[in-house]
Amino acid sequence: MSESDIKPRWQPLGRIERRIVGVLIEKAKTTPDQYPLSLNGLVNGCNQKTNRSPQMSLAESQVEDALERLRESGAVGEVQGSGRVPKYRHYMKDWLGVDGVELAVMAELLLRGDQSIGDLRGRANRMTSNEIKDVAALRPVLANLFAKKLIVALTPAGRGQIVTHALYRDEEMDKLRQQYGTSGDMSLGAGGDDDDSDEAEHAAPVRTAPPHSAPAHAPIAASAARDSGDTAGLRQEVDELRQEVARLRKEVEDLWSSLR
């Protein structure tokens, strides 16, 4: 049997399962002295108010049920803690087939969902030893995850491109694509002139000023070039506005969800 015939271990997860594995990865990387986590610690991590989207208010019984499903799938295991208190650890590195930096990126996507590449860079870097110091360092990591079908792009390649993980169930992914006005697979930006940076992420588009002098014999060509440049600039602004509207809509839905 060739490697291409081997079915990957990972599978789509429900929202509670995604939150649990995201928390376990995060705590293992950021507070290793408190890991593995007890059930109480895991519930607190799932309901944490920072670095989470959407906010959740899960009961112990909900987390216990989700843990059982994760244990059955091989993503999580139970270990005996001090005082015979059961604790929980993840096996996501093997389950997803990723390395440590890729795992940090996946954890951030599982904890927050869809986000721009620039935002993802800053957030995921807290779980590494500054191995994602800029977006250029993140690009090959995203390319590997994209090749493994673990992440998807929700908006066209370019500045402010939105990505998310691929562990949503089909109906959730369809709804997410609709929010961004996309119906099929998008390509992942390869970087270059349209590369993101944390500072440039929110910067306004910069238009190149026309030359100070143009050939006197080509006024029509110069006018056409300006019109073409203006059209391209407007098209970019419209794309960015659509992405911003989609982000704001999701924030409102998450806020409404947390209040119910």
pTM: 0.75
Distance CA 79, CA 59 (A): 21
**pLDDT at 177 exceeding the cut of 50:** yes
Check if the beta carbon of residue 50 is closer than 8 Å to that of residue 253.
Answer: no
Residue 206: pLDDT band (50, 70, 90) is: very low
CATH number at residue 62: 1.10.10.10
Question: In this structure, is residue 158 part of a structural domain?
Answer: yes
What mean pLDDT is reported for the chain? Answer: 84
- Choose one of 200, 222, 252: the last residue of a domain: 200
User: How many distinct structural domains can be found in the chain?
Assistant: 3
Residue 74's domain spans which residues?
A: 3-95
Q: Are residues 130 and 212 in the same domain?
A: no
Provide the token pair at 7.
Answer: 């079915």
Q: Are residues 139 and 221 in the same domain?
A: no
Residue 129, SS3? Answer: coil
Provide the token pair at 80.
Answer: 């005996």
**Taking Cα atoms as reference points, which of 46, 44, 42 lies closest to residue 86?**
42
Mean pLDDT of 162-173: 98
pLDDT score of 92: 98
Question: In this structure, is residue 257 part of a structural domain?
Answer: yes
